Amino acid sequence: MRRLPRWVEVGAWLGWRCTVLVLPGLVGHSVSVVGSDEAAVRVDLVELLVKARLSREVVQATGKWVERQWTAAGFSWVRSRKSWERHRGERREQVELSSSYRNRAGKRTKVWVAGLAVHDDQVKEWRERHPELSAKRPEGLAGLACTTSFLDLTSRYWVELSQPESRLSRVGAWAEHVAEIAFPWFASTIDPARLAETVPDRLVKGRAQHLVELAVSRGELDQARLLIERALAVGPLVRGSFEEGRELARRGGRADWQAPHALGWSSLVLDLM
């Protein structure tokens, strides 16, 4: 038996297999929860989300709430990194949550997904073994296989959570939308043997060099070449920086991982073109 605030919304449970009855005439009395220990945990999460006041409290409560919604997909909330993460063998998929510096307790609270990222132990090991064949990057990003800004994928990257009474339904609907965008994006990069045909154009345009190194780390040289061909088909801007990168490689230089010319550099040092 638990006590819940007047404004807990029954409909915000979004298909969970337990039922909470909150009736106006029972406010101030015990409320029945149908279920077991898991139901009690869910009630705790409801209270955590609707009672959160400070921005950091709302972020953590949102993280835990969405974690329950994404349990079947294998995602867990990582408090220290403020992200939902899923492990698949040597691969770690990450959905990064952020909040506005303009947030004010009791007045304005807004959170959003900042980006998606895939970290891969095998590509990290390959880069560490072959620094002369991989673009320069910070040590902490050696395992970053690919990443994208979530703002480039949807206009509904954020959710307004200023009003506690609407947080449950808002977070629930928003998390469903994020999953519709993020989960297929992760799926598109999971098979190195099919990268060139499965990854979306937007990822090829902005992160082809990362994907090329991922493919090469798995011995998928044909996929690496096809990824380069797709990137070059984007247009003259890519082609211009591509030639700059190849010239840098001829001079014995090493490209930075974020440089536009990194793809051209990789094409030459990896003997792909």
Predicted pLDDT of residue 103:
81
Per-position pLDDT tens, the chain of length 273: 444 444 444 344 434 433 333 433 323 323 333 455 666 667 888 888 989 998 899 999 999 999 999 999 999 999 999 999 999 999 999 999 999 888 888 778 999 999 999 999 999 999 999 999 999 999 899 999 999 999 999 999 999 999 999 999 999 999 999 999 999 999 999 999 999 999 999 999 889 999 999 999 999 999 999 999 999 997 677 888 999 999 999 999 999 999 999 999 999 999 999
User: What is the b/e burial string over 25-64, where b = at least 16 CB atoms within 10 angstroms of the residue's CB?
Assistant: eeeeeebebebeeebeebbebbbbbbebeebeebbbbbbb
Task: Return the closest-CA partner of residue 265 out of 135, 124, 131.
Answer: 135
Nearest one of 203, 59, 17 to 117, comparing CA atoms: 203
pLDDT of amino acid 22? 40
DSSP summary character for residue 160: E
Q: What is the pLDDT of residue 108?
A: 87
Task: 92-101: list long-range contacts, CB under 8 Å, 24+ apart.
Answer: 92/118, 92/119, 92/120, 93/117, 93/118, 93/119, 93/186, 94/118, 94/119, 95/150, 95/178, 95/182, 96/150, 97/59, 97/62, 97/63, 99/55, 99/56, 99/58, 99/59, 100/55
Kindly report the pTM of this predicted structure.
Answer: 0.84
Tokens at 77, concatenated: 């909330």
Task: Please give the pLDDT value at position 9.
Answer: 44
What pLDDT is recorded for position 43?
80
- For position 44, what pLDDT does the model report? 84
User: How do the domains of the chain map onto residue ranges?
Assistant: 1-51, 53-189, 191-273
pLDDT given for residue 34 in this prediction: 42
How confident is the model at residue 257, as a pLDDT?
Answer: 95
DSSP, residue by residue, 83-135: EEEEEETTEEEEEEEEE-TT-BTTTB-EEEEEEEEEEEHHHHHHHHH-GGGS-
Q: DSSP secondary structure string, 161-188?
A: --SGGGHHHHHHHHHHHHHHHHHHHHHH
From CA 13, how far away is CA 19, in angstroms rounded?
A: 8
